[in-house]
Structure 1
Amino acid sequence: MKGPLFYAKILLFGEYGIIKDSKGLAIPFNAYRGALKTSKNLEGISKKSNENLYKFYNHIASLNSDVVSFNLEAFKKDLENGMYFDSSIPQGYGVGSSGALVASIYDNYADDKITVLENLTREKLLKLKEIFSLMESFFHGKSSGLDPLNSYLSLPILINSKENIEPAGIPSQKKGKGAVFLLDSEQVGETEPMVNIFMNKMKNEGFRKMISEEFALHTDACIENFLQGDVKSLFGNVKSLSKVVLKNFKPMIPDAFHKVWENGIATNDYYLKLCGSGGGGYILGFTENYKKAQESLKDYKLELVYRF
């Protein structure tokens, strides 16, 4: 048995904001992927994956939901035959490792599944998101369902609000100097503690005001600029967003990167923002001159995501 490939995802804009119903833009990231495989001799990582899939199977079996049902018999049989999830997607890095796994299990075992080939109405997209949210809650306690949705469809997705999501056309990449890149913090981040910090901060009126008046405003502008290919305006808005995040989301930025973050804003060589929930994993970078950013960040591992 060898299942189809499901890719990592990058939430370009909207981390935390989408919890509070502001806009977001997620894109597939094909450099990392995962697929279900079977082996008669499970050992090491594949053995651990098989054990974790058994736990996930129990979660799926206990879902008492009207929106989805699964072929649990086939799922269990495949587990007994040595099924595991073979993935190159780093865990705890904010690029959707659990999302790809959820997408592959849905694809393989859901009854009456919504396929990528059919006409994806808003209703179908919302239904998929709801199903994936139920499934992925096993990993994070609370899930928007967006990571698996992005992985399953392998399309850029524009989140206008919780009830309004649509596939988005993003401008094709150019061979320009500008780039979006990933900066490796070389630390693993955990989603749940970070989301808890955010939820506690949301109890503060000043923080809520900042989210709606500054964070969401800059995020929405960045998304609009990006989708329209307005690179000049984009970098102005990304710089503003980077400042807001540094000032208000310090616990989500690993300590060792506070100075690196400030340096980007001061020099304009690059601007950083959170990738996923933060706390470690990848940090997302935007630069008008990738070569310059590489020189400035020569002590760190960078990965190219998109060229302007």
Structure 2
Amino acid sequence: MKGPLFYSKILLFGEYGIIKDSKGLSIPYNFFKGALKTDSQLSREAKDSNSSLKNFANHLAEIQSEDLVQFDIVALQKDIEEGMYFDSSIPQGYGIGSSGALVAAIYDKYASDKITVLENLTREKLLKLKTIFGKMESFFHGKSSGLDPLNSYLSLPILINSHDNIESTSLPSQNKEGKGAVFLLDSGMTGETAPMVQIFMEQMKQEGFRNMLKDKFIKHTDACVEHFLNGDIKSLFGHVKQLSHVVLDNFKPMIPKQFHTLWKKGIETNDYYLKLCGSGGGGYILGFTEDIDKAKKSLQGHKLEVVYNF
């Protein structure tokens, strides 16, 4: 049995900011994917996934009582008993939506009266899906916006205008010959969402941090989203540089220590600018460059993966 495929996602802009109503832009990333499979002989990873699904099924049974969504829990539990697991190439703890893809796959297969990609996706429907997915994914992260599963489920770029205003969008077409690029930089270590969000929430108690978030972080994030969608690359890079600076100054705990110098080097040389991919603490780091060859040279010894060309 091979279920439909669900892809990883990249939140290009909006990490942490969307908690406080900044804009955000999330895109599917088809390089990594996952699907529900059943096997009587399970490998060690598949066994782990299968036992995690058992606990997840209990969580889904609990959230059904809130009348937001109904699942065929009996069928789900039967399939889990028969050896169902989530077969995924999406690295966990890398900020590209491994749990989101799993949530999307389970909703797709077991939700009753599900909202599908084929219908007219009004704002109400998108928000309802996002709420359902947030409740489902909270099993993995404690608190979830529901955006990762939404992206994975729809496989469309999602523009977040504010907390309760989201829409699917289209991206400017890529210039495959272009030197400019968005890339992923592998930090070589995993990060955990919950502790990072905890640090952020602690910092939000300080007035200075709240002001910085509003006056700098959200201002540059919103501008980046606008310029990216309008294809205004020159203005985009000006704001990405500022954003990279703000993150280095104010989100140090979310940046793995050995990348502080590399982060600074990008801002000083203009060869590339780095930003958080998801909650940080490890996993992937997002990079933007106007000249990918220059960035590769500057970041020699690191693995770069291009996800979008300008």
TM-score range, shorter chain: over 0.9
Aligned equivalent of 1:177, options 171, 174, 179: 179
- For residue 141 of structure 1, what is the aligned residue in structure 2? 142
Taking the aligned partners of 1:170 and 1:43, their CA distance within structure 2 comes to: 39
**TM alignment of 1:43-122, pairs within 5 A:** 43-63=43-63, 64-122=65-123
3-state DSSP class of the match of 1:10?
strand
Taking the aligned partners of 2:71 and 2:2, their CA distance within structure 1 comes to: 19
Deviation, 1:197, is 0.2
**TM alignment of 1:220-239, pairs within 5 A:** 220-239=222-241
- For residue 8 of structure 2, what is the aligned residue in structure 1? 8
**TM alignment of 1:197-208, pairs within 5 A:** 197-208=199-210
Taking the aligned partners of 2:272 and 2:144, their CA distance within structure 1 comes to: 31
CA deviation vs aligned residue, 1:88-111 (integer Å, no higher than 9, x gap): 000000000000000000000000
- For residue 132 of structure 1, what is the aligned residue in structure 2? 133
- Structure 1: which amino acid aligns with 2:66? S
- Structure 2: which amino acid aligns with 1:230? D
Aligned equivalent of 2:244, options 242, 245, 266: 242
CA deviation vs aligned residue, 1:259-288 (integer Å, no higher than 9, x gap): 000000000000000000000000000000
Taking the aligned partners of 1:142 and 1:41, their CA distance within structure 2 comes to: 34
- For residue 197 of structure 2, what is the aligned residue in structure 1? 195
3-state DSSP class of the match of 2:66?
coil
CA deviation vs aligned residue, 1:220-260 (integer Å, no higher than 9, x gap): 00000000000111101100000000000000000000000
- Structure 2: which amino acid aligns with 1:288? E
Deviation, 1:43, is 2.2
Query: Percentage identity across aligned positions?
Result: 71
3-state DSSP class of the match of 1:286?
strand
Using the size of structure 2 for normalisation, the TM-score is 0.99
Deviation, 1:37, is 0.4
Taking the aligned partners of 1:58 and 1:110, their CA distance within structure 2 comes to: 14
- For residue 20 of structure 1, what is the aligned residue in structure 2? 20
Taking the aligned partners of 2:153 and 2:23, their CA distance within structure 1 comes to: 20
Taking the aligned partners of 2:75 and 2:61, their CA distance within structure 1 comes to: 12
3-state DSSP class of the match of 1:113?
coil
3-state DSSP class of the match of 1:218?
helix
Deviates more, 1:134-143 or 1:63-72: 63-72
Taking the aligned partners of 2:79 and 2:297, their CA distance within structure 1 comes to: 49
Deviation, 1:142, is 0.2
Taking the aligned partners of 2:271 and 2:66, their CA distance within structure 1 comes to: 49
3-state DSSP class of the match of 1:276?
coil
Runs of 4+ in 1 over 6 A off after TM superposition: none
Taking the aligned partners of 1:116 and 1:2, their CA distance within structure 2 comes to: 20
Taking the aligned partners of 2:247 and 2:76, their CA distance within structure 1 comes to: 42
Taking the aligned partners of 2:169 and 2:292, their CA distance within structure 1 comes to: 25
Taking the aligned partners of 2:50 and 2:188, their CA distance within structure 1 comes to: 26
Taking the aligned partners of 2:43 and 2:234, their CA distance within structure 1 comes to: 51
- For residue 217 of structure 1, what is the aligned residue in structure 2? 219
Unaligned runs of 5+ in 2: none
CA deviation vs aligned residue, 1:80-127 (integer Å, no higher than 9, x gap): 111000000000000000000000000000000000100000000000
3-state DSSP class of the match of 1:27?
strand
Taking the aligned partners of 1:208 and 1:191, their CA distance within structure 2 comes to: 20
Taking the aligned partners of 2:123 and 2:200, their CA distance within structure 1 comes to: 29
Deviates more, 1:58-67 or 1:191-200: 58-67
Aligned equivalent of 1:279, options 278, 281, 301: 281
Aligned equivalent of 1:302, options 288, 304, 307: 304
Aligned residues: CA RMSD? 0.6
Taking the aligned partners of 1:43 and 1:213, their CA distance within structure 2 comes to: 50
Taking the aligned partners of 1:66 and 1:210, their CA distance within structure 2 comes to: 39
Deviation, 1:42, is 1.1
